[in-house]
Amino acid sequence: MLAQLEDIFNKKITNTSSNSFRTNDDILMFHLFNYYAIIKKLGKTKYVKTVDTKKKLLHQLTAHYNKFTFGYINLHEKDVDEHLSKMKEEKPFTFCLNQTENTPEKNLIKIKNFLKDYFPLKSSFEK
């Protein structure tokens, strides 16, 4: 299916993949993949429960097939510390730290410290 999408949206995907950071013109492949699968009747939507005790959309740790978890934090929110603590506790399989134009500088510092603590060793891909 990805090969089909690359054929259909070749120029747009090439432009997107050449960017170091997301732009407003980029394609979000996971959304494109999902919608294409639904339209072509190759997949179906499945809603998953959040693990967030406050039931807020700001911080989602969602279970997927009881194996993979996903964490999401909007960095412009006031209670980033609480969400980062939950992230450390839950240790999701993958997570997104969503920076917006409204993200305060103090939260960027908190994220920098969180990432240093969460990933104390550089990966083989870092200089």
Q: What's 56-125 look like in SS3?
A: CCCEEEEEECCCEEEEEEECCCCCHHHHHHHHHHHCCCEEEEECCCCCCHHHHHHHHHHHHHHCCCCCCC
The answer to whether 108 and 98 are in contact (CB under 8 A) is no
In a shared domain, residues 66 and 35: no
In a shared domain, residues 65 and 95: yes
In a shared domain, residues 71 and 114: yes
In a shared domain, residues 77 and 108: yes
In a shared domain, residues 33 and 67: no
In a shared domain, residues 63 and 91: yes
In a shared domain, residues 63 and 113: yes
Tens-of-pLDDT digits for all 127 residues of the chain?
A: 888 899 999 999 999 989 888 788 888 887 888 788 888 888 766 655 444 444 444 344 444 344 556 778 889 888 889 889 988 888 887 788 888 888 999 999 999 999 999 999 988 887 7
Per-residue pLDDT at 112:
94
Model pTM score: 0.51
In a shared domain, residues 63 and 18: no
Task: For residue 66, give its domain range.
Answer: 59-118
* Alpha carbon distance 88, 69 (integer Å): 13
